[in-house]
Amino acid sequence: MAAVGTWAFSEPAVDRLRRLISAGRQATDAVEEALAEVEDDPDTGHHVVGRGGFPNSGGVLECDAAIMEGGAGRFGAVAALRGVGCPVRVARRVMEASPHSLLVADGAAAFARQQGFTIEPNDDMLTARATQAYQGHVEKQQRPSGHDTLGLIALDQRGNITVGVSTSGAPFKSPGRVGDSPLPGCGLYADHTAGAAAATGDGDRIMCYCPSFHVVQLMKQGSPPAAACQAVLDDIMSRVGPDRGFEMGLIALNMQGEAGAASSVPFPYTCWRQDEVSVEKRASHPHSCHGHGEGK
């Protein structure tokens, strides 16, 4: 049993995973529940996740979420979804109840409604902090500094592995913009023969390189999680060049419960495995040769 999450704010979510999978819960149930608790908490919206996240350039909150199991073909995602406080729950329904794997915008909202979800008014999805930030953007073209995305990976008692991601996307993005998070192989990937990985950072750049798939493939070939993440990061940064680097963080978990990460910027993350009594805080630091930009 093991779990890992992106950024320092994932600590409560990873601790929730610890408690759920220690109690015998299946990995997918645990990931969905832990992600949804963060998504629906307006106080964590400033981490660019769910309710209270930053709206798009039209003042509307649009969320992306995805969930992927290690079994072949087990994936579901939503993108540019409006009015749902827990988009990962809709993503799981897509995986289990839709003939499709990814639904977006109005189609995602229609599916959510059919599945019994309430589509809330946009004002109910925003917080005073998000609204104030949006007004600052409209009046002065200000953007909040930094950004996050929540990615969680869980390995349960039965050896099932699941990865989930959720984000409200780049603050004040163009309506309909979708980053890497809900795209399989880009924002997340899982394979029960090797492990799982998730990415965070500049989604418009990350999606061009399918890093999560690459990390899992390297683990399948025998690389430890940290080494696989670092190899993928090094490959991407060498291809873009030192002056065109961008913000990216990678986490991975293999089937032995070993976690690792690599990043182009200082990147705190949290993890736990069954021989530990509490969640551990770790940090990935970029090598000095890695150039990086300012993020989204």
- The set of catalytic residues is 149
Query: What are the Cα distances from residue 37, in Å, to 85, 105, 162, 186, 196?
Result: 10, 22, 17, 24, 22
222 in helix, strand or coil? coil
Residue from 193, 200, 213 nearest 254 by CA = 193
- In sequence order, the β-bridge partners of residue 4 are 153, 271
CA-only gyration radius of the chain, Å: 18
- How many residues are there in the chain? 296
Q: Residue positions in the annotated binding site for substrate?
A: 177-180, 200-203
- String of b and e for 172-190 (b: at least 16 CB within 10 Å)? bbeeebbbbbbbbbbbbbb
Alpha-carbon distance values, 167 to 96, 164, 230, 279 (Å): 21, 11, 24, 23
